[in-house]
Structure 1
């Protein structure tokens, strides 16, 4: 059947008397088939995708169709000749050979002048366009020297392409593209260079599922929502089955090839392949098996056994890339290594930047063995000749110290002139610059923005919000939920009939009856109050087997009414992270509005740095608390489907459990950020002293507003004083302004907490202070992301630990000398290993320990001072 022509099929009509009984039987049969098909699709990854358009051409073939090893049939282009517009073309062939994998590479069509293939398509949307090349010897033209371009009506697919320039040792090459085609007439134009020729061995035009490319993703730096992916064309550069075997088009319902990952692994000794049965893979609702076959998710690479208690290295894959283009990196994950839920937390880096922090697959998917993928958009300014993907463990005790990756897809994105190869568009337009020009322009834009910013900095806000006193004392006990926490899912007293409804629809945890909470809090006795805020009182309570909880009871006179109550708990139901305090349940019986949270026995961070006469925290403890809070905030900004801005970050909203693990609290003012947006226009709310001045001026809330507030928190931890103290002289009232004045003088050590004197590594404090200073930039665009702040805090902790270890060894050596001759003292640490996140440009990958189980040698860093903490980020490389 020719493409574009309707088949002439005779139709016999049934007698009218038997028409309706027949139709009834036919309908029943079809319904039966649809049911069995659905069941089959739900349980089998081979559920067939039926492409509306499937045009497969064996170019240059004069005879019958060619059947490939994977079972596909390519028509000879003798049958398609009416769709070729060419003035002069030649058909050539070569004898079969053991070196040729498919018959489509035995023939070719050569064009000595421009030529066009035109196809009539039945489906508008995504299509695979695959071009096959094999420059076999022939007596018509040396195909190795053929130089040509391939274009569609809109996109440049190849520009001055020459097979020998692709550095490909194989005798054939496939170029695969994914185009969103909306015109029913699709054209492929071959333009040879002067005195050269163009050639093609085979062409595929095949419909692709619409859900294959979502319209939204996540940009790498800064980590924010990215919208409009359907507006680009893509070239498939790499499709990797990590830790698994080669997957051929025969075993992929979309005809894709998944190669193995071994040639891309930077160090194969750091990775270990794992696998499970494909039947163990369960696709969640909303994720089609067409994204990737079960075979991809049933295999993975994990961290190799380092024979140490706390392995701390990354597994790295390097992919040669073109730094002039943006890339879409699709990362595939499926937890096939864990024995229980919430045991595997790990980080993912792309080109040295944090792409995903603290990924807990069981929380994201709700189960083990459940596929998940993440689309990361990498801007060309962050590209280098190598695109690097890394996985590594969390830098804290969060369960198993491991990390996994199941698959990687790397797709080049079309540029500003709709080209996927070079800087020239179909209509002759040009970007007008190479990479250096792009960098220069970016630099000019940044300089111009800085110039404008200096002018705007003249205006500084001075006026306090009218209700700042109430906001400043707002309780720190409004906390987020562990939606799947089975420990508290049933009510002891049987609960209300509303319990099952709320649990099933909102995921709000346990429903408590009012009687239960009255018993738990001694009928809300005043002696049980542990906090007071705008929403109401917070009581300590004891439930079930003695578990302590914090019970927040809404005040009927509070400005936060029923709407805020419902909105608040629905938002909290989205969140789950080790550094966000858990909401256990709720009660809305009668007119009561009550929330029940896990009890944080050590209370707010602020109480431990000033105001309560509690034992002072060491510098290491303060760093660890700040790191924990930064992890929680980073998760809010990047770890949910929609970014969440906390809007009230302060030391009273960072709570400490019995082990002094920090958890972010109080989401009463939080806001969602929709995909494609980088701010929320809203009335100014927050706590005075922590409020982002840019948010105050423009009334546009961004995640950088949280970063500013967190910078104030860092200064509180360092200086041990409130963000605002009206009793001090005017120049000292505002902590941020006062501390930064001393920082600029290079005398910040003069105003730090006296309890820290002599115990802080100066380099650690310097790194910490630089991070705080960047957080406090007047304009959000100049502030780092929470991921970047987190990295610097972890680095500061590493510097402090190395300093403390060196002092301890020094003391031991002094004791040894005093006691007389003894064994040779151990050498002081020669290097500081930065956290398992992107490091400074001078850092090197960390090796596994030696075969005796001792610590591996690491490369010393060239720069510990970090004087340009954030200006180095363009060149960071992860470990």
Structure 2
């Protein structure tokens, strides 16, 4: 065989350098892919497991696995308890990315929800968005575990300040900001949301404050989604005594006017910086709405105002205007209480107050031994509204 017909030497094969080059590129890409995959796996382990449970035009929230929230709250350490709602405790948590969150652990025996019902309710809560409502970040449904993850509010709940558990003095401007923000949040729930919602548990501990003391309504565990074609629902009582409207507590008639009554009590608490019921005080001072009205009848309503803001400087007529609005919210008959949109307008002086308030409804406390007693007590008689030109109408409200 001559040299010309012999096969070419492998060393001299013209495609060999190209194969080596391509093989090197492929090997390099494979190494890069492996490195990136390891980083992604590592980050996935550090981050909460999430999936989109809200679609369409609504905001997406995260689905957290239970172990992530357990780690974030240090195994639900009692030292991390921020508060306790009607359906379970709320814990401070810190996620792997450094975010602080509030984790509400629902008591399963009280919630009695399967995963589909729980996620359906979460979707509903997520669909309502307003600057004066606490923002839901995510949830967890793992076996019997039901947890809600909310944004963390730096100044925590209003009751810590109003009841003196936290050494913070709020001036009148900040207190009015809180009152107005709560009113606007309730207006959204009752009138402006795509679904009509009654909170059912408006009270100081369910009002959270951000770093600028802007209020956010929280704890929707008792909220009811209300049919548009019904004036009220007949339902068993649920809520907190002292804030509860008489028609709801006694007859089980629930409407948005129950929230409005609770708002009226809360306004008096914010102004006076005391609990709505305090049985350690003298008899006539024990129930705040009753005491406030008695001061009003004696033209001594300024005695209701927290003495610390009196020293701090405030415009007396502005505070008394807010008290007047509170009395409107506490009217004995539900149809006498204005809707929240009107209350907001009155608070901001966009609408003049036309209907003068009558004596608020409050319970006969003769048989009451503590706040937890059931509503078997008799309401004081519902008086007819007092005319503003009547001698008996307090001059402070004229």
Please give the TM-score of this superposition, normalised by the length of structure 2.
0.72
Which residue among 604, 609, 612 is the counterpart of 2:162?
609
Q: 2: distance between equivalents of 1:503 and 1:495? A: 15
Q: How does 1:285-434 map to 2 (within 5 A)?
A: none
Q: Corresponding residue for 2:128?
A: 575
Q: Corresponding residue for 1:631?
A: 184
SS in structure 1 of the partner of residue 225 of structure 2: strand
Q: 2: distance between equivalents of 1:541 and 1:612? A: 22
Q: How does 1:686-835 map to 2 (within 5 A)?
A: 686-758=239-311, 759-795=313-349
Which residue among 232, 236, 240 is the counterpart of 1:679?
232
Q: 1:491 to 1:575 in 2, by over 3 A?
A: farther
Q: 2: distance between equivalents of 1:495 and 1:582? A: 19
Q: Corresponding residue for 2:112?
A: 561
2:49 corresponds to 1:495: yes
In the TM superposition, what whole-angstrom CA distance separates every residue of 1:347-372 from its partner, at most 9, and x where no partner exists?
xxxxxxxxxxxxxxxxxxxxxxxxxx
Post-superposition offset of 1:661 = 0.7
Q: 2: distance between equivalents of 1:598 and 1:591? A: 23
Post-superposition offset of 1:744 = 2.6
Q: 2: distance between equivalents of 1:692 and 1:566? A: 31
Q: Corresponding residue for 1:622?
A: 175
SS in structure 2 of the partner of residue 792 of structure 1: helix
Which residue among 92, 100, 110 is the counterpart of 1:540?
92
SS in structure 1 of the partner of residue 142 of structure 2: coil
C-alpha contact (below 8 Å) 2:171/2:309 kept by paired residues: yes
In the TM superposition, what whole-angstrom CA distance separates every residue of 1:240-297 from its partner, at most 9, and x where no partner exists?
xxxxxxxxxxxxxxxxxxxxxxxxxxxxxxxxxxxxxxxxxxxxxxxxxxxxxxxxxx
Q: How does 1:850-861 map to 2 (within 5 A)?
A: none
SS in structure 2 of the partner of residue 550 of structure 1: strand
Q: 2: distance between equivalents of 1:668 and 1:763? A: 37
2:81 corresponds to 1:529: yes
In the TM superposition, what whole-angstrom CA distance separates every residue of 1:839-877 from its partner, at most 9, and x where no partner exists?
689xxxxxxxxxxxxxxxxxxxxxxxxx89xxxxxxxxx
Q: 1:740 to 1:491 in 2, by over 3 A?
A: farther
Q: 1:649 to 1:533 in 2, by over 3 A?
A: closer
C-alpha contact (below 8 Å) 2:203/2:266 kept by paired residues: yes
2:63 corresponds to 1:517: no
SS in structure 1 of the partner of residue 342 of structure 2: helix
SS in structure 1 of the partner of residue 110 of structure 2: coil
Which residue among 194, 205, 225 is the counterpart of 1:641?
194
Gaps of 5+ in 2: 1-43, 355-387, 390-398
Post-superposition offset of 1:642 = 2.6
Q: 2: distance between equivalents of 1:762 and 1:526? A: 43
Q: CA RMSD in A?
A: 2.5
Post-superposition offset of 1:608 = 1.4
**Larger relative contact order, structure 1 or 2 (CA cutoff 8 Å, min sep 6):** 2
Post-superposition offset of 1:784 = 1.2
In the TM superposition, what whole-angstrom CA distance separates every residue of 1:713-749 from its partner, at most 9, and x where no partner exists?
0100111110111222332221111111212322111
C-alpha contact (below 8 Å) 2:140/2:146 kept by paired residues: yes
Q: 1: distance between equivalents of 2:218 and 2:161? A: 16
Q: 2: distance between equivalents of 1:698 and 1:715? A: 25
Post-superposition offset of 1:793 = 2.4
In the TM superposition, what whole-angstrom CA distance separates every residue of 1:525-554 from its partner, at most 9, and x where no partner exists?
222222233422211111243111001122
Q: How does 1:169-318 map to 2 (within 5 A)?
A: none
Q: 2: distance between equivalents of 1:530 and 1:780? A: 34
Q: Corresponding residue for 2:217?
A: 664
SS in structure 2 of the partner of residue 538 of structure 1: strand
Please give the TM-score of this superposition, normalised by the length of structure 1.
0.34
Q: Corresponding residue for 1:594?
A: 147
Q: 2: distance between equivalents of 1:740 and 1:546? A: 49
Q: 2: distance between equivalents of 1:494 and 1:676? A: 42
Q: 2: distance between equivalents of 1:609 and 1:535? A: 23
Post-superposition offset of 1:760 = 2.3
C-alpha contact (below 8 Å) 1:568/1:668 kept by paired residues: no
In the TM superposition, what whole-angstrom CA distance separates every residue of 1:395-415 from its partner, at most 9, and x where no partner exists?
xxxxxxxxxxxxxxxxxxxxx
C-alpha contact (below 8 Å) 1:654/1:662 kept by paired residues: yes
Higher strand share: 1
Q: 1: distance between equivalents of 2:45 and 2:256? A: 37
Q: 1: distance between equivalents of 2:309 and 2:245? A: 28
Q: 2: distance between equivalents of 1:622 and 1:494? A: 37
C-alpha contact (below 8 Å) 1:688/1:724 kept by paired residues: no
Post-superposition offset of 1:613 = 4.4
Q: 1: distance between equivalents of 2:336 and 2:48? A: 54
Post-superposition offset of 1:712 = 0.3
Post-superposition offset of 1:618 = 0.4
C-alpha contact (below 8 Å) 1:609/1:617 kept by paired residues: no
In the TM superposition, what whole-angstrom CA distance separates every residue of 1:735-783 from its partner, at most 9, and x where no partner exists?
1111112123221112221112252212112211110111110011111
Gaps of 5+ in 1: 1-489, 796-836, 842-866, 869-879
In the TM superposition, what whole-angstrom CA distance separates every residue of 1:545-599 from its partner, at most 9, and x where no partner exists?
311100112234x422225845642431221000001000001123211110000
Q: Corresponding residue for 1:76?
A: none
